[in-house]
Structure 1
């Protein structure tokens, strides 16, 4: 087996709030909901996302972000903002690179990118 991405890790202060947000946003199931957790893996069919409680204030926001692909950008942006994300900017400088920058409840940035269904399903 070659190397692959197993999980992207996000440092956070409020593990429970971030678990609720990212689990609902990406239809992932948390490995645990124990209030004493310092680390949780949110598991899904296609990806894992890990959350790690930070013992110090989380800084350097732009060191990591996720690109989320969809063929329904407007619908997904609406759904994610209803879950607690904040809209930052819609970037359309390049007609082949259309994305909306959002911030999760702890202001970590991520992008919702327009991608055709074929790419979303791994066919393109």
Structure 2
């Protein structure tokens, strides 16, 4: 439990007691201060609850991210086990493309643009 929640609850109860004391004694200043302290306590309590909720959601998100990362790692390991040559082929393909792009960067840009345009047409169609 967040410290603001505890402090807010204490201040809220204290404000109620102070307000009740003002009611009994007929002291309007004490009544007003009690209401003010009660409101401050309620606000601090709400702030603490909000902090707790954010912390809980952040912890949950972190857990989910860890689970997703672990599942991805397992998929990669399974892929490496099933297709041991795939990583080598991908590396060779990357090196070959990098070499061609290095030799002719303008042609690579034009080809990439044309491929992007064709993919956009396939995805979105002609309007």
TM-score (normalizing by structure 2): 0.17
Q: Indicate the structure with greater strand content.
A: 1
Larger Rg: 2
TM-score (normalizing by structure 1): 0.17
Higher RCO (CA 8 Å, separation ≥ 6 residues) = 1
Q: Indicate the structure with greater helix content.
A: 2
